[in-house]
Chains A and B, each alone.
Chain A
Amino acid sequence: MFKLDALNSFIAGAIGLFFILAISYSLKFMKGRKHLVLYYFYIVLSALASLGVVLTNNLVVLLVCWGFLGLLLYLLINMGDSDAPQAAKKSLVIVGGTDALMIFGIGIIYYFTQTMQLDKIRLELNQEPLILAYFCIASACFAKAGAMPYHSWVPDCAKSAPIPVTAFLPSALDKLLGIYLLSRLSLNLFVMSKAVAMVLMIIGAITIIAAVMMALVQQNLKKLLGYSTVSQVGYMVLGIGTGNPIGIAGGLFHMLNHTVYKSCLFFSAGNVEYRTKTAELDQLGGLSSLMPFTFFSFLVASLSISGIPPFNGFVSKWLIYQGLIQNLQFADYSMKIISIFCLIAAMFGSALTLATFMKTLHAVFLGQRLNTLKSKEIKEVSFTMLAPCLVLAVICIIFGIFAFVLPLKYFIFPVLSVYAQLNAASLPGHWSPVLATILILIGLLTGALLFRSGKVKSNIREDSTFSGGELEEQGQEAMVTGTDFYNTVQEMPFLKKVYQKAQAGTFDLYEQSRKIFKISKVLQFLHNGVLPTYLVWILLGMMGLFLILIG
């Protein structure tokens, strides 16, 4: 019933790691809240169910654990703030709804193979029902991982759920599981066809750009992180969609990296919220000196998510780019065009991610401190909360610098050993992280020395603010928070409309599907409570039956 292989063993390990970190973080963060026993019970169950999903070799067991996770997510989100029930409902409708699709997909697989054993299934994507099955199960993966068009629960959940829950489930476990199943699906259960690969790539590319554009203009730290999570899922889907070993390696590595840095970001954001009691960006600022370790881990994770070398996010993104470039070798033009489009989207998305996190870093940790944040209460958090952040930040650095020696060699490349013997030398592009790190460090040191030597500083004159010769009061008005950095983006002629529509929920599958319930109104109109009407139905029903069975 259970089976261990290269793909699921490292994911199981990661689940274990995040479980420990989440528990450690919760000890302090959740202290004093209601229903704590239940909370830890749900967390433990989540970890167990996730292990079940990853390790099982039976589709039904996978389905059971997978669906159960949706329920646990619902229960855990409900422990959050006052908006939590809404967010929890939305999450369960989207996740649970796609689970139902997955039942259908598994039904079709069973119809064709008559087995539920994962390792015995290998299907060509050459018939319509099979393509349907692929996309039904892929929908469940997208919903779990938060790729478009099933993404909209992630930001809401991030905003309302308790931080350790967000860090543990949507940003770590659900990513691992969603992408795990997607890669199982694409690598083992089905033989990917080119058309399906292209669809995946396009979904990935659109997810990257659209979600990061939304992240760019968010005013709430947690929601911003939520949108950027969605955007990062796009990279993973894109990587797996490339269909070649390098791209898939990139996608899987990005999944691993993402869970590390995004959990780190959420934990750090949790630290900030824990001390300041707010996650609104315009009420934060200048916390770097008060919470230096939190700042450090947030900084590392930000740079990592933005794909700055030598951190881990860069390596996986770089692998995905390589995968896309490999696809340019294909003869047919549609693949070439799509690969180029996706490459541009991925790089542009990366730049926008950097922009988003510059804004966030500035708004939360840099800039001036608000008066409201000057109380003594605001200081570094305790060790059990800090440890998860620091551990993850250090992993970001190690996975970046020793990418080829550690994670890729032991975790990622073995998964793809059936398809290609990958190692640092076999990649088309060359990247030597250790050397690069040394060079970057030397560069930074030189810069620091120059800065210290005073030659740069001499050109800066510091003075008080004044207007018309009068000195300005050093008040809050003079403060520049990061919040408004990209308001101009929202005002651009075309984008303005898009953002307005996004605000109104036009791109939210959940909001859009509500429209189908207009059918209910029609049906209600027919149920007018008048007996003769009902009798007429019975008559019509019987006439219909007579026509079918006798006529």
Chain B
Amino acid sequence: MNLALFVIVPLACVFLIVLLARRFKALSDILANTAALFLLLLACFSLKQVAAQGVLTYNISGWAPPIGIALVMDGLSAFMLLTVNLVAFLAMIYAISYMRRYTEKWKFHALFLMMLTGMNGVILSGDLFNLYIFIEVASISGYALVAFGTQAEDLEAAFKYAIMGALASIFVLLGIALLYSHTSTLNMADIALSLAAKPRGILINFISVLFLAGFGLKAAIVPFHAWLPDAHSSAPSPVSAVLSGVFIKTLGVYALARVFFNIIGISAQLFYVLMILGILSMAIGAFLAVAQNDIKRMFAYSSISQVGYIIFALGIASPLAIFGALLHLFNHAVLKSLLFLNAGTIEYATDTRSLKGLGGLNDKLPVASVSSLVASMSISGIPPLGGFWSKLIIIIAAVQAGYFNFALVAVLVSVVTLVYYLKFYNTVFLGSLNAAIAEVKAVPFTMKFSLVALAIISLIAGGVLLPGLRIYLQAAANVLMR
């Protein structure tokens, strides 16, 4: 299978859309959605193929590394590709009706597919420099998409995001440069081999800090998180869904895990640092989320908190914990995108997303209500929904590794999570209809479709633990445990 399709298809669509969409209005919708669906199917297919054949590589133009550029797909990449393209596809479907709020929809499609190109590239890239290139491709389209509404606050958010994102890119690039000077190669596998032969000096620790800060900024780990609430709440909802659902996990968590676990190796000290950062993120994110009155800001802070769980679990680094981390990554991708799409639906129907102006929408927006309930309960870890299982595994893994105190913090933060999600659900959907709501617009079918699809996935996400499906997740976790 040609791995380059994951990058070429969306990129080609971007060109076609930019060239033709001004003339043929319907083209961008059709092209973008077809491309997204194709990528999703391709991701499903590749997941199966990786499970059967192990690692797949593709040398672009037939040039073998170290001269040429290699795309590599192992269990982890396949799992990430599926997650990313699943969320991207459903967000795209949602956007068909939702993005009518904005002018120049084709620009959105072009940028969105560009972002997807970048994310797929990050996941597949087999050498560090291309990792960086694709991070930039994704980030820059991300900055533009955050500013898509062109209101004052959108632009401000995008500006902050761009500054901090650029800072992150510089850190990452500096790290890569130092690593290159140390090992004389950029290919990930070669670097790992080369480093294994050398003594672990202070330079590696220095590089570790650069990568930690760089990818930490992308993943919004406290204290590198401050751009996220503005950016994710200002972007159009389908974009927020992708940004919060998969973007920070691909550019941040995935890249971090890949670099630390597979390339430069990780010391006991660094594991501990990851755990501390994870704990800080989950606690601070959760406490900030409680205080929010803007739905999307609340979800954005919640993303910081939930990514904290993933980072924390990666820091524990036992097989069970890594399994839990990846399961939580998947769950959170589905749940957070569902929640952001719900926020979009609420905003679409009532023109507000402030908790103070909402209330009693249960009967008016039944689909949004049920899917919000499912997502809220799942992310708060109420059994038997998907989120419960990953939280259970992470907490048990933490206790197993002997980190009782950290496990207790993780438990208490999950109570806080429950508190703010109940605040969200109760305020928006229960009680009597808020007098400030003038009218509740009907929600178009495509938006409902995405909500229902994501809700069903999150309902049955616990099923990933069944033996037949567990192998895929286990294959992904094995990559990090080598």
| A, B from the same assembly | yes
Could you tell me which residues of chain A, from 92 to 138, have a CB within 8 Å of some CB in chain B? 92-93, 96-97, 99-101, 103-104, 106-108, 110-111, 129, 132
Shortest C-beta distance, B8 to chain A (Å), equals: 35
CB distance from B270 to the nearest CB of A (A): 7
Q: Is the CB of A549 within 8 A of B217?
A: no
**Of the candidates A64, A132, A517, which one forms a contact with B383 in the assembled complex, judged by CB atoms under 8 Å apart?**
A64
* Segment touching A, from B179-187, B205-213, B337-345, B470-478: B205-213
Which residues of A lie under 8 Å from residue B27 when comparing CB positions? none
Judge whether A485 is part of the interface by a CB distance below 8 angstroms. Answer: no
The answer on a CB contact under 8 Å between A534 and B227 is yes
In the complex, how many residue pairs between chain A and chain B have their CB atoms under 8 Å apart? 143
Pick from A85, A524, A531, A549: contact of B431, CB under 8 Å: A85
B2 at the interface (CB under 8 A from A): no
Within 8 A of A (CB), among B376-409: 377, 380-384, 388, 391-392, 395-396, 398-400, 402, 404, 407-408
Tell me if A89 and B404 are in contact (CB < 8 A): no
**With A89-B422, A89-B426, A100-B381 given, is the CB distance from A535 to B224 under 8 Å?**
no
A101 near B426 with CB under 8 A, answer: no
Report the bound CA distance from A104 to B392 in whole Å.
Answer: 9
* Stretch with Cβ within 8 A of B (4 or more), from A67-75, A185-193, A428-436: A67-75
B419 engages A107 (CB within 8 Å):
no
Most-contacted residue by chain A among B206, B381, B382 (CB, 10 A): B382
Tell me the complex Cα distance, A529–B226, Å.
Answer: 8
Q: B residues within 8 A CB of A92? A: 418, 422
Interface positions, chain B 160-188, Cβ under 8 Å from A, are 160, 163-164, 167
- Identify which of B12-20, B240-248, B284-292 touches chain A: B284-292
Q: Does A545 contact B (CB under 8 A)?
A: yes
Q: Please give me the residue from chain A that is nearest to B160 by CB atom.
A: A531
Taking a contact as CB atoms closer than 8 A, the residue among B212, B418, B419 that contacts A545 in the complex is B212
B97 CB within 8 Å of chain A:
no
Q: Mark B265-298, 1 if CB is under 8 A from A, else 0.
A: 0000110010000000000100110110000000
Complex CA gap A65/B388 in Å reads 12
Q: Which residues of A contact B205 (CB under 8 A)?
A: 549-550
- Specify which of B159, B209, B226, B411 is in contact with A537 (CB 8 Å cutoff): B226
Q: Which residues of chain A come closer than 8 Å to B404, judged between CB atoms?
A: 108, 129, 132
How far does the Cβ of B72 sit from chain A's closest Cβ, in whole Å?
28
Give the shortest distance, in Å, between B378 (CB) and chain A (any CB).
Answer: 10
Instruction: Tell whether B415 is near chain A: CB-to-CB under 8 Å.
Output: yes
Number of contacting residues on B, CB 8 A?
58
Q: A107 contacts which of B164, B290, B395, B412 (Cβ < 8 Å)?
A: B395
User: When the two chains form the complex, which single residue of A104, A533, A545 contacts B408, counting CB atoms closer than 8 Å?
Assistant: A104
A103 to B389, CA, bound (A): 11
Q: Which of A488-537 contact B (CB under 8 A)?
A: 517, 519-521, 523-524, 527, 529, 531, 533-535, 537
Q: Known contacts being A64-B384, A107-B400, is A550 close to B411, with CB within 8 Å?
A: no
Check A538/B164 contact, CB under 8 A, given A549-B209, A549-B273. yes
Does residue B437 face the partner (Cβ distance < 8 Å to A)? no
CB-CB < 8 A to B432: which residues of A?
Answer: 82
The number of chain A residues touching the other chain, given as a range, is: 35 or more
Tell me whether B250 is interfacial, beta carbon within 8 Å: no
CB of B382 within 8 A of CB of A70, answer: yes
Q: A71-B377, A96-B415, A549-B205 are in contact. Are A534 and B288 (CB under 8 A)?
A: no
Collect the chain B residues with CB atoms within 8 Å of residue A78's CB.
430
Q: Tell me if A546 is interfacial: C-beta within 8 Å of chain B.
A: yes
With an 8 A cutoff between CB atoms, is B223 at the interface?
A: yes
B10 CB within 8 Å of chain A = no
User: When the two chains form the complex, which single residue of B226, B388, B391 contacts A527, counting CB atoms closer than 8 Å?
Assistant: B226
Judging by beta carbons under 8 Å apart, are A538 and B223 in contact?
Answer: yes
Residues of B within 8 A of A534 (CB): 160, 164, 226-227
Closest partner residue, chain A, to B212 (CB atom):
A545
A441 at interface, CB cutoff 8 A: no
Tell whether, in the assembled complex, residue B399 and residue A521 are in contact, meaning their CB atoms are under 8 Å apart.
no
CA gap between A87 and B380 in the complex, in Å: 18
| A542 interface residue per 8 A CB criterion | yes
Indicate if the CB atoms of B400 and A550 lie closer than 8 Å: no
Residues on B with C-beta less than 8 A from A60 are 392
A517:B291 contact, CB within 8 angstroms: yes
Question: Is B163 within 8 A of A100, CB to CB?
Answer: no
Considering the chains assembled together, what is the distance between the CA atoms of A541 and B212 in angstroms? 10
Q: Nearest chain-A residue to B429 (Cβ)? A: A85
Residue of B nearest to A545 (CB): B209
B202 contacts the other chain (Cβ, under 8 Å)? yes
Residues of chain B whose beta carbon lies under 8 Å from any beta carbon of chain A:
159-160, 163-164, 167, 202, 205-206, 208-209, 212-213, 216-217, 223-224, 226-227, 229-230, 269-270, 273, 284, 287-288, 290-291, 377, 380-384, 388, 391-392, 395-396, 398-400, 402, 404, 407-408, 411-412, 414-415, 418-419, 422-423, 426, 430-432
Question: Could you jot down 8 A-B contacts, CB within 8 Å?
Answer: A67-B384, A96-B382, A520-B287, A523-B291, A524-B291, A537-B226, A538-B164, A538-B167
